[in-house]
Every structure is written in C-alpha cells, then in structure tokens.
Amino acid sequence: MTPTELPAAPAGFPDIAASFMLDGPAGKLETISDTAEPACARRGVAVICHPLTIEGGSMHNKVVTMAERALRESGLDTVRFNFRGAGNSQGAYDHGHGEGDDLAAVVAWMRRMRPHDALWLAGFSFGSYVTIANAVRLRADVLVSIAPPVGRWPFDAVALPTCPWLIVQGEADEIVEPQAVFDWAGTLEHRPELVRMPETSHFFHRRLMDLRGAIRHAIRGWLPPLRHG
C-alpha cells in the first residue's frame, strides 16, 4: 500500500500502530497512531507536532519520533500527523494559522475516539509554537515544548496555558536563541518546568536518548491514571 492509498480514519482508536488519513480543514491529513504497552497504558493521548514544513519538517523528524517514544513509554497513546503540505497531507503551508486548525481537527478526532482521556500536546520547534498557540482553545491537560522558537514566532500574541508544561531547550541551539527561551520562560506567570540541556544543538544530535530520558523524568508526576487500573 502506497502512502496515497492509506485508509480513511478508523471507527475507533487503533489498538496497534496504524497509518491513515484524517479529514482536515484543507484536505486529508496523513496520520500515525500508536499505543502504549497494556500493562502501563494510561488514560491519556499525546498529539505531537513537527517542525517547519517549508524547511523539511514532518512527523518522521527524529526529535518528533523520540518525543513520541518517550511519551508512549510513559503510558500514553500517541498521534503524529503531517501538517498541510507536508508528506502526503493535502493543502499548503499557512504560516502557523491553518496548521493550528489542522491540529484542532486531529484533536477533535482523538476526542471522539477517547472522550474521557486527558489531552497532551507536544511539539518540536515550529510544532511547539503551534501547540502553545492552541493549547488554551483546545483545553490541553499537559504541554510539552521542545526548542520553542521564541523570537521567530509571535509568542507574545497567544493566550498562554496554565496547565502543567515542560520546556526542553538545548544550550547550544544554533536555530533558536537559547537565552531568549530562558528569558521568556522566566517571565511567564505560570512557570513551566524548564530543562536546559548543555552542549545540545537544535536537532539534538547525539543527545536524542538524553531527550527521551529528560521527558520521561519530567512528566512522571503529571501522568493520568492507569487505563486498566
């Protein structure tokens, strides 16, 4: 089966890893879901967003897939998807506006499938901007932001969440100014948990396993109840 022949969204949340196309506001959205191990599965789903489409970002980015792994190993089911214009998703890049609507469409599907589950939003770089900008309207329960592009996107124009929030930022990021992120995080009324990773570049080269560990450690106290507890 080629990517363009992926099935439509399933009637329920798949109980194994699955690829499918969801209806989005600008056309079909290429989507992958996966599930936590049953013994540690919790009542929550993490929706994870990728970096900038016009710079080659997609849901297959290594930072995105490592974040997905960390969240799934922590007991959350996961959903990744390609924003409009990325991979096999239809539509065209929309400077963060339409991408927020893409995220809303994926969250709406997730809530139809799992109406009683907690919603976690996670994003890397541009994906973290989209999740932060939409966390309030989508009523996120937890937010995970990796290398949020402070200074490159209008963070001062969005409603900021009050839910538990993790920010992971490399101190040697060559794309996002680390000090700008640290300074911005320090001004927030509801302070996020901030993890600073020394000698770490934007794409976490040679530090992906450290990123995995940092996420798993930081979110332990926020995890929802066991699904079958």
* 20 belongs to a structural domain: yes
* 125 belongs to a structural domain: yes
To the nearest whole percent, how much of the chain has pLDDT over 70?
98
Q: Quick one: pLDDT at residue 5?
A: 75
What's the structural domain count of the chain? 1
What's the 3-state SS for the chain?
CCHHHCCECCCCCCCCCEEEEEEECCEEEEEEEECCCHHHCECEEEEEECCCHHHCCCCCCHHHHHHHHHHHHCCCEEEEECCCCCCCCCCCCCCCHHHHHHHHHHHHHHHHHCCCCEEEEEEECHHHHHHHHHCCCCCCCEEEEECCCECCECHHHCCCCCCCEEEEEECCCCCCCHHHHHHHHHHCCCCCEEEEECCCCCCCCCCHHHHHHHHHHHHHHHCCCECCC
Query: Where in the sequence is the domain holding 182, given as residue range(s)?
Result: 3-221
* 227 belongs to a structural domain: no
Q: Quick one: pLDDT at residue 1?
A: 44
* 53 belongs to a structural domain: yes
Please report, for the domain that includes residue 27, its CATH number. 3.40.50.1820
* 214 belongs to a structural domain: yes
Write out residues in the chain with pLDDT < 70, as ranges.
1-4, 229
* 229 belongs to a structural domain: no
